[in-house]
């Protein structure tokens, strides 16, 4: 292959290769940003607000007042004894938003003092960013009936009845009916 032919191939393929590489790099950074951006936002902004102001009464490690847990998305979407608290389809109608903004005359959260406006804005933005498909209609609203989330003590007691946790029994072997059987 002559040097001129190699140089012309280089001039032809180099720009196309560079375009493909740049396109793939841009595509991967865009996809990565959209996937991890929501998690990063939740972990850096939303979770600290919930931990500081809500987990004391509304987490799995506490009594879960009103049957509401805010330490998981599923728990928040399930709602409380009073119904759903987050409405991804209509975020402005969410009970959580009206409670933290103190616009609900019957419910103010946290009860002791209103959150700073910056923290309210973070939670409002988070609820508005939730997609309706993240809250399927199959998630039932918690209630005091049998579909309410059970407390850990009842789960523990139920699990103690598992066959694998029962004492080993020494049953007697069955009677042999046919002596010629090997």
Is the predicted pLDDT of residue 110 greater than 80, yes or no? yes
Full-model pTM = 0.54
Q: How many residues comprise the chain?
A: 182
Encoded tokens for 113: 């003092």
Rg over CA atoms, the chain = 29
Calculate mean pLDDT across residues 34-61: 78
pLDDT at res. 116: 92
pLDDT tens digit string along 114-151? 999 999 898 888 888 886 665 544 344 444 444 445 67
The number of beta carbons lying within 10 Å of the beta carbon of residue 131 is 9
């Amino acid at each position: 292959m002559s040097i001129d032919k190699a140089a012309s191939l280089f001039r032809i393929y180099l720009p196309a290769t560079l375009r493909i590489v740049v396109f793939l790099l841009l595509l991967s950074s865009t996809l990565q940003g959209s996937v991890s951006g929501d998690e990063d936002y939740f972990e850096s902004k939303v979770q600290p607000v919930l931990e500081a102001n809500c987990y004391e009464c509304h987490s799995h490690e506490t009594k879960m007042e009103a049957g509401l847990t805010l330490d998981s998305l599923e728990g928040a979407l399930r709602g409380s004894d009073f119904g759903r608290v987050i409405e991804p389809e209509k975020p402005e109608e969410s009970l959580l938003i009206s409670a933290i903004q103190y616009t609900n005359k019957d419910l103010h959260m946290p009860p002791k003092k209103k959150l700073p406006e910056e923290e309210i804005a973070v939670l409002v933005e988070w609820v508005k960013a939730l997609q309706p498909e993240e809250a399927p209609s199959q998630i039932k609203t918690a209630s005091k009936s049998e579909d309410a989330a059970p407390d850990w003590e009842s789960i523990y007691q139920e699990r103690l009845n598992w066959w694998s946790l029962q004492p080993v029994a020494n049953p007697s072997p069955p009677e042999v009916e046919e002596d010629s059987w090997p």
